[in-house]
Amino acid sequence: MKVEVTELEGLYRELAVEVPQNRFQEELDKELEQLRLRVTLKGFRKGKAPMNMIKSNYGESVKSDVIDKLIKATYPEAISSQTLKVASPPQVTDLKIKDDGSFSYKAKVEVFPDIKKVVFDGIKLTTTDTEASDAEVDEFIETLRDRRAEMREVDRAATADDVVVLDMTKVKDPKLAVEQTDFPETTVDLSHSLTLKEFKEQIPGMKAGEEKDIAVKYADDYSDSRLAGTEITYKARLKSVKEKILPEVDDAFAKAAAEAETVLELRLKIREEIKRQKEESQNRSFKTQIITQMNEKNPVPVPESMIENYLHSVIEDLTRQKAEFKEDEIRKMYRVMGEQTIRWQLLYHQLAEQEKIEVLPSDTEKVIGRMTRQYKITGEQAKEAMLRSNRADDIRESLLEEKVLDLISGRAKKKPEKK
């Protein structure tokens, strides 16, 4: 078998493969003999038909089958004989069959880029302060208090700190944004930060039983896209006013809210939690910073077919979610991202090899440990769950990525964020 490789544009390579006659003949004879034993021709019992009749009846189709088979068989041989790292399925063209049975074909494939050395010095990371301030702890406690507040119905005009129950009817909706017209028994917390400002401004002062038309103008970037930019007028009848009674911050509160013995312990717990969240978000931001900078420092080419695969899976996801989209736009939008993601994958694998980073059993143990704490299961169960979900490879991958990220961020220059 003769194989010749031509480098084409980018990462494309063309393999010209020649398969010799004897190989073809061997395969053809084998195939015909098998067929002979299988088929029933008229006048002959199964497997008793003479070879010539088999040949004249099935010869051509067997021939093309054999060629198909040989292409499939010789292609991997060709690849391994040339030590190519192939990133895409081959496109076979130029199939030429000579009279003596030898044939040649060309296969166009894409290879992984040959990354000589991954550069990762001089990465600059912007750090943020991960310590929790007293103000943040206070704020957290306030939300806890708010969540555990008791409601008590009162007979007075509503104030900005109250919770009100409204019977609402839609009276004007020029764009017909909502189908529903009646909203009975709607509870509105006037002190909540997400409550619409029209309610916050107009309801205080009303008493139970009173009615008012409230025109609400939804912002153009309102989270519910059906409502964004519309103006709807509601007739609101105040049913009841409820006073929010916030619990005192004492040890009992600490125990109920966070299973802490004392208020001090509660504050400590909250501080830890906030810190953990901040660190997590910092790690995430490190990761994006590293990926962007590594992409800039190592502009290796990315196989087109891998980007294509990426875009394909994005589009498939969107289709599954039944989202409306234009394929061209999505392709354009996600192209850069896909290229970066794939380049990063290539880079961190190469870097792991370069720096001899491997996922060790102890790393896997760590993940299992994390799982046992998070889901409150035993190590055995965690292992089993991992095997069952077929995600062991994924986990290994992400561990490797994590280790590479650790290495890079360990050697990066860190600078606090400018405020």
Q: By CB under 8 A, how many residues form the interface with another protein?
A: 9
**Binding string, residues 327-366; x marks residues near another protein by CB under 8 A:** ----------------------------------------
Q: Does 51 bind another protein (CB under 8 A)?
A: yes
Give the residue carrying structure tokens 């010749």.
4
Closest to 310 (Cα-Cα) out of 289, 291, 288, 334: 334
Shortest CB 100 distance to another protein, Å: 22
For another protein, which is the closer residue by CB, 51 or 119?
51
Q: Does 59 bind another protein (CB under 8 A)?
A: no
**Binding string, residues 11-50; x marks residues near another protein by CB under 8 A:** -------------------------------xxxx--x-x
Residues 1, 77 contacting (CB under 8 angstroms): yes
Q: CA 65 to CA 72: how far, in whole Å? A: 11
Buried b / exposed e across 324-361, counting CB within 10 Å, b at 16+? eeeeeeebeebeeebbbbbbbebbbbbbbeeeebebee
For another protein, which is the closer residue by CB, 42 or 388?
42
For another protein, which is the closer residue by CB, 53 or 300?
53
At 48, list the tokens: 């008793």
Question: What is the amino acid identity at position 352?
Answer: A
For another protein, which is the closer residue by CB, 44 or 325?
44
Q: Site for another protein (CB under 8 A): which residue of 3, 16, 39, 53?
A: 53
Q: CA 271 to CA 278: how far, in whole Å? A: 11
Q: Site for another protein (CB under 8 A): which residue of 9, 52, 134, 135?
A: 52
What residues numbered 272-291 form the site for another protein, per CB under 8 A?
none
Shortest CB 57 distance to another protein, Å: 11
Q: CA 141 to CA 146: how far, in whole Å? A: 8
Residues 234, 214 contacting (CB under 8 angstroms): yes
Q: CA 63 to CA 41: how far, in whole Å? A: 19
Total residue count of the chain as it appears in this document: 419
CA 345 to chain centre: 14
For another protein, which is the closer residue by CB, 53 or 386?
53
Angle between helix 263-297 and 392-411 (nearest 10):
80
For another protein, which is the closer residue by CB, 45 or 356?
45
Q: CA 197 to CA 238: how far, in whole Å? A: 17
For another protein, which is the closer residue by CB, 41 or 407?
41
CA 374 to chain centre: 21
Angle between helix 327-354 and 304-320 (nearest 10):
130
Shortest CB 58 distance to another protein, Å: 14
For another protein, which is the closer residue by CB, 52 or 223?
52
Shortest CB 47 distance to another protein, Å: 11
Shortest CB 38 distance to another protein, Å: 17
Q: Does 152 bind another protein (CB under 8 A)?
A: no
Shortest CB 39 distance to another protein, Å: 14
Eight-state DSSP code of residue 111: B
Shortest CB 41 distance to another protein, Å: 8
For another protein, which is the closer residue by CB, 53 or 377?
53
Shortest CB 33 distance to another protein, Å: 14
Angle between helix 327-354 and 263-297 (nearest 10):
90
At 308, list the tokens: 């294509």
Shortest CB 108 distance to another protein, Å: 43
Q: Contact residues for another protein (CB under 8 A)?
A: 42-45, 48, 50-53
